[in-house]
Amino acid sequence: MSPQDSPHSDPRPQAGAGADVEPTPINRYLRHLAAERRLSPHTVANYRRDLETLVQFTEGRPLDALASTDLRRAIVGLRAQGLAATSVARHLSSWRGFYTYACRRLGFTANPCVGLRPPKAPKQLPQPLSPDACAQLLDTRGADPDAPALHARDRAMFELLYSSGLRLAELAGLDLADVDLASGEAQVTGKGRKTRVVPVGRQALAALQAWLPLRAALARDTPALFVSQRGARLGPRSVQLRLERWAQQAGLTQHVHPHLLRHAFATHVLQSSGDLRAVQDMLGHASISTTQVYTHLDWQHLAKIYDQAHPRARRKS
């Protein structure tokens, strides 16, 4: 005769007499994730481990009898084991999902996750390319130096990303009519379908002027500014892959992606001008608090210069 289900047992039905045993709340939840939400076996296994951890920390007490204080102790226990804040947050998310389901479908009368917040993870600041690295990237011969149209298109895209701080989707969504070479401006459609006008730098304008005649020979019934060899609008993933190839060709060891050029734009403009509000407008941030992350980056730059230059900051060798 099969043993009764435990929180550690397989959520799938068992053959034989054990199939008649009432599954535990955890197993019912795991079956719900697999059968109704159609989550992958890997994801379901992660939920299982997180819930088993809760059972271990609460010494196998019934899950419908746990209170918020029990879950707080479990969180403290996870932190004491050295788990990162992000891992603890994942555990709490798994527990919250289980209790939400249990209150709706299993008759649990209280949700001990209500009011619990995960520990704050340290904010990861973006690591932009240095001005020298940007120049090294943009001055390279590119991924296809023997394909003039692709080379001109890629240079125009990457110059524009760095010149105007565009998001990847904003760049891919640009139409020919959105760029005014005479005024040196581009109209960009950002998040929430909000439009803004951004300046286009001298190098980006020159790159666009080199690309446009070649684009005319490729484009097929599309208003897109940047098109593929087949004449269709170039998608975001293609832009990412092209930039990765350019970075490799340029000999950069840092992983380069389109958003990194946006970070570089914001950081370098802020370091030069100190005008946070102008950077906010050019980036299209709804709140200046989003832009303020670049003030931290700027401080890192200043602190490095200080450590290198100030007589009282230099370490003795």
The reported pLDDT for the residue numbered 239 is 96
pLDDT, tens digit, 9 for 90 and up, residues 102-120: 999 999 999 999 999 888 8
- Domain membership of residue 198 (yes or no) is yes
- Domain membership of residue 175 (yes or no) is yes
Is there a single domain that holds both residue 137 and residue 97? no
pLDDT, tens digit, 9 for 90 and up, residues 271-314: 766 666 777 777 777 666 665 566 555 555 545 545 555 454 45
- Domain containing 40 — which CATH number? 1.10.150
Q: How many residues does the chain have?
A: 317
Is there a single domain that holds both residue 211 and residue 90? no
Instruction: Give the β-pairing of 195-199 and 179-180.
Output: unpaired
pTM of the model: 0.56
- Domain membership of residue 180 (yes or no) is yes
For the segment 110-137, the average pLDDT, to the nearest whole number, is 82
Active site residues: 167, 191, 259, 262, 285, 294
Strands lying side by side in the sheet with 195-199: 179-180, 185-189, 195-199
Per-residue pLDDT band at 130 (split at 50, 70, 90): confident
Six-digit token string for 236:
């975001």
Is there a single domain that holds both residue 33 and residue 152? no
- Domain membership of residue 9 (yes or no) is no
Question: Which domain-ending residue is among 86, 105, 124?
Answer: 105
Is there a single domain that holds both residue 35 and residue 168? no
- Domain membership of residue 295 (yes or no) is yes
User: What residue numbers bound the domain in which 228 lies?
Assistant: 133-309
Q: Is the dihedral of CA 108, 114, 120, 123 positive or negative?
A: positive
Is there a single domain that holds both residue 160 and residue 300? yes
